[in-house]
Structure 1
Amino acid sequence: MVVTGGVRAGIIDVHAHWLPRELLSLPPGFPLGGMNDCDGDLYLGDSALFLPTTAMTDIDAVIADTLKTGLGARVVSAPPFAFPVFAPAAADDYVSAYNDRLTEAVTSSDGTLIGLGLVRVDDMDAARREMTRLAAMEGIAGVAVPPLVQGQSLGTGTMRQVLAVAAETGLAVLVHPMQLPRPEWKDHYLVNLIGNPVETTTAVASVLLSGVMDELPNLRICFVHGGGCAPALLGRWGHGWRKREDVRRDSNRPPSDSFGQLYFDTVAHDPEVLRLLAAHAAPDRILCGSDYPFDMAQREPVRFVLDSGFDAKTLEMAGRAFLGIRNRV
């Protein structure tokens, strides 16, 4: 990442979202249509997102919330609706436009904001081209990617190759679920309450059991929402790894050994869940997150992590390490 003027000291929120108003249309092929403003409130197609449009689109509003909550800096990425996965070959212009606007926004924030760009995960030539461009952009530290696309996760195919390019170019990777629908989750917001953690959990297992971290030890990859269900399932995965050849065939180590190489954010909504995560993850791989500005956000991310027993300096240094920031200003 190219940083001029430095990043503000203090805890870094690695999980927040921003989308400029002119890109609310979303990439081609999104099945629900675009996002739109309705009398000041943000909608996804015909569904209310229960947040002011300015909270997502106004960079000054993002900065104001960052400072109000006591953060040193905040990492912004596109909301998952903007991932170019439904008609990716037609999304190159959208991807490059977002990344251009992102670098403009973060470099004008006086070290308050850092960016994670968009990238296609279906085509290696397109991915490498855009990730090489992102690596040279001021204020851009990495990319945000989905955990699952059309039955494929991060341990296989093009998605795994994208991780390899990220490690090669020094870009951090934030893995964010897409709230993929299933019939049994149509009520009570279960598509988010259960679906999002399950998507993340699947991706964590894919990375651990496919040997990604053996192949790419320098990869900086973060899973949001506290890693979903992964901390609670790590023992089960380890038992399967020891007992079944088909579980361990692609990895050299039990999943608990490589779990310590992964980063996780703190959007868990429960201090006990965070303590379970801390029992398995490396202390310097837990990162403050908020999920700003969505309804499922941790509204006071600094207070939540400090009240849960985490150390501010450790969190700050972990955030800087994940983002590849070496300087202090």
Structure 2
Amino acid sequence: MIAAAPAPGVIDVHAHWLPRHLFDLPGDAPHGRMHDRDGQLFLGDLALSIATEAMSDVDAIRADMRRADVGVRVLSAPPFAFPTAPGPEADSYVAAFNDALTEVVARADGALLGLGLVSLADPAAVSSQLEILARTEGIAGVAIPPLLGAQSLDGPALGHVLREAARLDLAVLVHPMQLPRPEWSAYYLNNLIGNPVESATAVASLILSGLKDELPNLRICFVHGGGCAPGLLGRWTHGWRARADVRAGNTRTPDEVFGELFFDTVTHGAAQLALLSNVAGTDRVVCGSDYPFDMADADPARFAVEHGPGRESLIRAAATYLGVTTRSKE
């Protein structure tokens, strides 16, 4: 719930924060436990190339916002903190994160907003957790992964989250998890290829299943520019027209539904952002940074404004996605 307008300026909808007392991730985390080594973050034995304070220290986040000309930053948990298995440990972790996030945004005078967590594999817990988020000032919605086990957004677990979020008028941010696969074990391909494929799978499942048509008011954003979805949209639309099994779940072409989703600007290239703006529509592109990860855009507002739809359009689109009103710069 956003009771008051956020601070003025470009809104970065995609940034991460995790307090130090929650570095001990839920027990089902696929990458191992997160910990600090001499001021640097590690996930198991994997170096994250992130200073610990950048992830956990709110003063460091606010300083980065000032440096990057970001007026409002929307904080969500890093994807390896998503609780993907049911049980009391997941519920406790969700409650602890959401409470800590609520406290942080409450002290920020609109400069920080939040997207909470839910216990993804427990439908009853999801409903009650989302109802709490919907009543919590400064919390705009929920962050979820694109996949849970072998199923995507059209599966029962994630589909339930989307239906409940739409019912409660909460925004949804879909963030890939960089799930390991043996063919992508070298050259950081788990990220460079895996993350874009995870996101594209989620976009396709949402559209082709008919779930987006079922939930016309769902406000959902796919980070990293939707992964490789913009480049595949023509192929999906051709397949929808050519094959009965592709169009069995919905009655509209993928390119028509695509323009009802939101996507952030973390595309790492002007040509890629131009393609996204062309196929999604400029009113569906929002500024994102992926702070503080190694694949983040270090200058997100400048990149989004110079190569995207423009400053005012980016602010309007983010406000629409988050369900907020905006303040003018004083």
TM-score (norm 2): 0.97
State how far apart, in whole Å, the 1-side matches of 2:7 and 2:302 are.
18
1:39 paired residue number: 38
Q: How many residues align?
A: 328
Give the superposed CA RMSD.
1.2
Q: Which residue of 2 aligns with 1:170?
A: 169
Q: Is the 8 A contact 2:82 2:145 kept in 1?
A: yes
What is the CA–CA distance in structure 2 between the aligned matches of 1:277 and 1:138, rounded to whole Å? 32
| Paired AA for residue 292 in structure 1 | Y
Preserved contact between residue 29 and residue 87 of structure 1 (Cα < 8 Å): no
What's the counterpart of residue 124 of structure 2? 125
Contact 1:42 1:53 in 2 (8 A): yes
State the distance in 1 between where 2:86 and 2:43 align. 18
The answer to whether the Cα contact below 8 Å between 1:15 and 1:289 also exists between their aligned partners in 2 is yes
What are the Cα deviations for residues 54-93 of structure 1, in whole angstroms up to 9, with x where unaligned? 0000011111111210011010000001000145553100
Task: Give the C-alpha shift of residue 279 in structure 1.
Answer: 1.1
* Cα distance in 1 between the residues matched to 2:271 and 2:119: 36
Matched with 2:214 is: 215
Provide the rounded CA distance (Å) in 1 between the counterparts of 2:297 and 2:322: 21
CA distance in 1, matches of 2:313, 2:223: 18
Contact 1:28–1:87 at 8 Å: present in 2 too?
Answer: no
Q: Partner residue of 2:140?
A: 141
Q: How many angstroms apart in 2 are the aligned matches of 1:208 and 1:229?
A: 15
Report the CA distance shift for 1:272/1:36 in structure 2 as closer, same or farther (over 3 A). Answer: same
**CA displacement 1:167-211 (0-9 Å, x = unmatched):** 110110000000001110000000000000000000000001011
Counterpart mapping for 1:185-264 below 5 A: 185-264=184-263
Residue 309 of structure 1: CA displacement? 4.4
Identity of aligned residues (%): 56
Query: Unpaired segments of 5 or more residues in structure 2?
Result: none
1:144 partner SS = strand
Could you tell me how far 1:212 is from its partner in structure 2? 1.4
Structure 1: gaps (5+ residues) = none
Instruction: Note if contact 2:14-2:74 (Cα within 8 Å) is conserved in structure 1.
Output: yes
Classify 1:182/1:309 alpha carbon distance in 2 versus 1 (closer, same or farther; 3 Å): closer
Q: Provide TM-score, normalisation by structure 1.
A: 0.97
Q: Counterpart of 1:321? A: 320
Q: Closer, same or farther in 2 for the Cα pair 1:88/1:263, shift >3 Å?
A: farther
- C-alpha displacement of 1:53: 0.2
Alpha carbons of structure 1 residues 232 and 164: separation in structure 2 relative to 1, 3 Å: same
Counterparts of 1:230 and 1:249 in 2: how far apart (Å)? 20
Change in 2 beyond 3 A, CA 1:122/1:86: closer
Q: Which amino acid aligns with 1:188?
A: Y
Equivalent in the alignment of 1:113: 112
